A and B are shown apart, each in its own frame.
Chain A
């Protein structure tokens, strides 16, 4: 226990009160210093560094609005009043919130806009990590916790989307849960376990509600705490990718702190508040003026109550899932053959080019044959699920895939920037393709061969190629000289 500090009786009242609390709860004060007033972050943060704190803000918005929504929402798939043909209670309770609960529409729109906003800020936050190599040693765990947060967030969003019990809620859940049934051997039982019924129904709605409001938020909060604690142990990265802890020591606030560090509070807290202001302007512009966001944040068809007997013509997940959804759709029989061909080519190349032992070459060949046999044995739908899951899982391995001598994009060869830009473009193309119906993209008959699936297939191969070939391409080209100190322009 910290030593009991006496304070002069002439001290100002504020100091006395602080002292009283510090003597009785020193941990709070020590933690405050460790994480706020004496946490030294690099002083050269730029625009990209707003999105971490904004993700925290959106989390708080979602939790607070969620608490109020749960007060009025009813997870019940049965008809209102038990009358056959009446709308489902869950759907009706959302409309009750929209109409009869004072300010209910405001709370609901904040929550629905918050879901999309969460993904926007998290995608930008992750891309920042990619740009500046924030996942590199010693920050591997920070990145892995972050990827786990992303995964939990996807589960949270998916289960939350079922709750309004509209047509898109219902059929989106039906499609995604059915994907699990494609897993060999255990699939059908697993899907049954998730649904709690043979089709998405009241049991599914209730368990998704439970997961959405209790289980996943708890996991999310735990992971966020781990993400932040691990970050504060190793210290923040910065746009130059330079370790400020390895640089000179001593600044205005402390003789032992890194010279290029600056106390998080108040410097970055006021900085982040400015970001919060700008973000909230955009956020509330959507909430108040375009809550449906042209059908992208709230899908039009979801204003129709769930009907297990009427399948919508076009079932599309919400925009933030569509890059992964289009990878799933792209993995058809053709894609499986393409993958087999790529594996075969890889084995041949290994035999011809690899300067490694014969045993390893034979091992690679056997592995290749097994992989091709597996690819052809199981249904393409299963491999689609593997591709979709793999697209997220592969992110966890980024710290070991990137072998570039320079951590930050600033000091990498210029063509690396273009490669990242092409990656972003492909990700966005996949996003758009996932929103569109499958089939030819253009109505022109001469362009009928250019199908959604074909483009998505190329995009999927690029996405995986970007990561799987990263150990090779990240070492290519001449990195630029990295300065000793961070580049900082006084404001």
Chain B
């Protein structure tokens, strides 16, 4: 029935409008590299996470020993990644005192276990958001922390990786839109002071970190896709058999 096909197409289109409408605040998101099967990248991401994020943010639902899925053994985890606890079966909890955190930043730093899932939206995946966020910091003397962010205006968190990235400044231009002059972000950045990494190295490092965050949001996801392929192949076979069985039963129904 053609009518139904048209209806379905219309619905899909409408869903897109609805999704685009739900998007809000901040600049457009860049695409995160997304290398969920790249173990070296995930391991590097885990290292950056433990060194730079875990001092303030927890990953309460994540056990250290789940990092075995990234190709590490318990001893490696213990030696390289275990700073806040001494048992590999423990949850990845930060050492920060919640009361102090609130005094310093105005809010408790949110748990990051699921951040790559919860931050997804019509602009892209949660990984895209985080990849953009960590590359959109600039100095803002008005803010108490001295930092602001284009992807998350008035963010409470100061630039956590500023030693690696250095300071950057967004480049604005004045252009005309609907007859008004607007001050708009060009998408380009100007390096003010150099960081420990080159811009390319920094992007790769953030890509690895975001990759790890995305993996941590759902450690089973690679496994899930691998199993899914087999399940669907089985169901295809099952359906073929069921189809022929049905035909065999119905062939002499007149």
A binds B: yes
* Residue in chain B with minimal CB distance to A434: B18
Interface flag for B66 (CB, 8 Å): yes
In chain B, what residue has the closest Cβ to A96?
Answer: B61
- The verdict on B15 contacting chain A, using a C-beta distance below 8 Å, is yes
Could you list some 5 contacts between A and B, CB below 8 A? A277-B239, A277-B242, A304-B118, A421-B3, A436-B17
Please choose the segment from B26-34, B162-170, B182-190, B227-235 that sits at the chain A interface, where 4 or more of its residues have CB less than 8 A away.
B227-235
* B interface majority secondary structure: helix
| B19 at the A interface (CB under 8 A) | yes
Q: Judge if B40 is at the interface, Cβ distance under 8 Å.
A: no
Which one of B75-83, B133-141, B148-156, B246-254 contacts A? B246-254
Instruction: Choose among B60, B110, B228 the residue that contacts A287 (Cβ–Cβ < 8 A).
Output: B228
- Interface stretch (choices B194-202, B204-212, B216-224): B216-224
Chain B residue at minimal CB-CB distance from A305: B111
Expressed in whole angstroms, the Cα–Cα distance for A280 and B110 within the complex equals 38
Q: Would you call B235 and A280 a contact (CB within 8 A)?
A: yes
Cα A417 to Cα B4 in complex, Å, equals: 12
- Report A98 CB to chain B, min CB distance, Å: 7
- Cβ contacts under 8 Å, B111 to chain A: 87, 305
The bracket for how many chain B residues form the interface is 35 or more
Contacts of A428 in B (CB 8 A): 7, 10-11, 14
Interface residues of A in 78-137 (CB under 8 A from B): 80, 84-87, 92, 95-96, 98-100, 105-106, 109
Measuring CB to CB, which residues of chain B are less than 8 angstroms from any residue of chain A? 3, 7, 10-11, 14-15, 17-19, 21-22, 24, 60-63, 66, 98, 108, 110-111, 113-114, 117-121, 126, 217-220, 224-225, 227-229, 231-232, 235-236, 238-239, 242-243, 245-247, 249-251, 253-254
Q: What chain B residues lie within 8 Å of A435 (beta carbons)?
A: 15, 18, 22
Main SS of chain A's interface residues?
helix
From B61, B229, B236, contact of A95 by CB (8 A): B61
Q: Are B246 and A270 in contact (CB under 8 A)?
A: yes
Bound CA–CA A294/B10 (angstroms): 18
Known contacts being A99-B62, A424-B7, is A270 close to B245, with CB within 8 Å? yes
* Chain A: minimal CB distance from B23 (Å): 10
**Closest B residue by C-beta to A267:** B249
Q: What's the Cα separation between A96 and B239 when bound, in Å?
A: 34
Q: How far is the CA of A436 from the CA of B9 in the complex (A)?
A: 19
Q: List residues of chain B with CB within 8 A of the CB of A491.
A: 247, 250-251, 253
Task: List CB contacts (< 8 Å) of A477-491 with chain B.
Answer: 490-491
Chain A residues within 8 Å of chain B by Cβ, number: 58
A80 touching B253, Cβ below 8 Å: no
- The distance from the CB of A329 to the nearest CB of chain B, in whole angstroms, is 14
- A267 x B253 contact (CB < 8 A): yes
Stretch at the interface among A177-185, A192-200, A203-211, A295-303: A295-303
B126's contact among A85, A278, A300, A302, by CB below 8 Å, is which? A300
Known A-B contacts A270-B245, A287-B228, A421-B7; the reply to A432 vs B219 at CB < 8 A is no
Determine whether the beta carbon of A425 is less than 8 Å from that of B253.
no
A106 CA / B117 CA spacing, docked (Å): 17
Interchain CA distance A428-B126 in the complex, whole Å: 28
In the complex, what distance in Å separates the CA atom of A417 from the CA atom of B1?
Answer: 12
Assess the A281–B232 pair: CB atoms within 8 A: yes
Q: When the two chains form their complex, are residues A274 and B242 in contact, meaning their CB atoms are under 8 A apart?
A: yes
Q: Does the CB pair A277–B60 fall under 8 Å?
A: no
- A300-B117 contact given A99-B62, A284-B228, A289-B228, CB 8 Å threshold: yes
Q: Known contacts A95-B114, A281-B236, A441-B21; is A105 also within 8 Å of B218 by CB? A: yes
Distance between Cα atoms of A92 and B117 in the complex (Å): 15
